[in-house]
Amino acid sequence: MEHISYIREPLITGEGVTYSQITDEVLKPVEGPPTTKWLIGFAVSFAFFCIWCLAIGDTFWNGIGEWGLNKTVGWAWDITGFVWWVGIGHAGTLISAVLLLFRQNWRNSINRSAEAMTIFAVICAATYIFGHMGRPWLFYWIFPLPNTFGSLWVNFNSPLVWDAFAISTYFTVSLVFWYIGLIPDLASIRDRAKGISQKIYSIASFGWRGTAREWLRFEAVSLILAALATPLVLSVHSIVSSDFATSLIPGWHTTIFPPYFVAGAIFSGFGMVQTLLIIAREALNLKKYITIEHIETMNRILILTGSIVGVAYGTEFFIAWYSGSEYEQYHFFYTRAQGPYWWAWVMMISCNVITPQLLWIKKIRTSIMATWILSIFVNIGMWFERFVIIVLSLHRDFIPSSWAMFYPTMVDMGVFFGSIGLFMTMFLLFIKFAPSIAMAEVKLLLKNGSEQAKKLMHPEEGAHHGAKEGVIIAATTLGIKEKDHE
Summarize as ranges the residues that interact with another protein (CB under 8 A).
Answer: 62-65, 68-72, 74-75, 132-136, 138-139, 141-142, 153-155, 157-161, 164, 243, 246-249, 324-326, 329-330, 394, 396-404, 407
Helix, strand or coil for residue 75?
Answer: coil
Give dist(CA 221, CA 324) in Å, integer.
51
User: Least distance (Å) from another protein to the CB of residue 342?
Assistant: 13
Complex with another protein: residue 297 or 335, whichever CB lies closer = 335
- Burial profile 288-303: b = 16 or more Cβ within 10 angstroms, e = fewer: bbbbbbbbebbbebbb
Quote the longest CA-to-CA distance of the chain: 80
Cβ at position 248, least distance to another protein in Å:
5
Minimum CB distance to another protein smaller for 12 or for 394: 394
Choice between 129 and 295, CB closer to another protein? 129
Strand partners, 3: 475
Of 129 and 428, CB closest to another protein = 129
**Rounded CA gap, 414 and 412, in Å?**
5
User: Which is nearer to another protein, 154 or 308 (by Cβ)?
Assistant: 154
Is 243 or 441 the residue whose CB approaches another protein more closely? 243
- Looking at the Cβ atoms of 22 and 79, the one nearer to another protein is 79
Q: Which residues pair with 475 in a beta bridge?
A: 3
Residues contacting residue 5 through CB under 8 Å, at least 6 positions apart: 449, 450, 453
Nearest-angstrom CA–CA distance, 470 and 219: 33
Task: Tell me the closest approach of the beta carbon of residue 123 to another protein, in angstroms.
Answer: 20
From 441, 424, 427, 422, select the one nearest 113 (Cα to Cα).
Answer: 427
Nearer to another protein, 226 or 390 (CB): 390
Instruction: Tally the C-alpha atoms within 13 A of residue 340's C-alpha that lie toward its C-beta.
Output: 11
* DSSP letter string, 42-69: HHHHHHHHHHHHHHHHHHHHH-GGGSS-
CA distance 237 to 89: 10
Q: In the complex, what is the shortest distance from the CB of residue 215 to another protein, in angstroms, rounded to a whole number?
A: 44
For residue 417, what are the CA distances in angstroms to 381, 391, 428, 438?
16, 18, 16, 29
d(CA 299, CA 270): 8
Residue 434 beta carbon to another protein: minimum distance, rounded to whole angstroms? 35
Are the beta carbons of 56 and 415 closer than 8 angstroms? Answer: yes
Residues near 195 by Cβ (< 8 Å), separated by ≥ 6?
Answer: none
Query: Which 3 state secondary structure label does DSSP give 475?
Result: strand
Least Cβ distance, residue 257 to another protein (angstroms): 15
Three-state secondary-structure class, residue 3: strand
Number of Cβ within 10 Å of residue 431's Cβ equals 21
CA distance 478 to 215: 11
Task: Give whichever of 74 and 310 is closer to another protein, judged by the CB atom.
Answer: 74
**Whole-angstrom Cα distance, residue 341 to residue 327?**
17
In the three-class reduction of DSSP (H, G, I as helix; E, B as strand; rest coil), residue 70 is classed as coil
CB of 381 to another protein, least distance (A): 24
Least distance (Å) from another protein to the CB of residue 336?
A: 15
CB of 326 to another protein, least distance (A): 3
Choice between 188 and 241, CB closer to another protein: 241
Distance of closest approach, residue 425 Cβ to another protein, in angstroms: 28
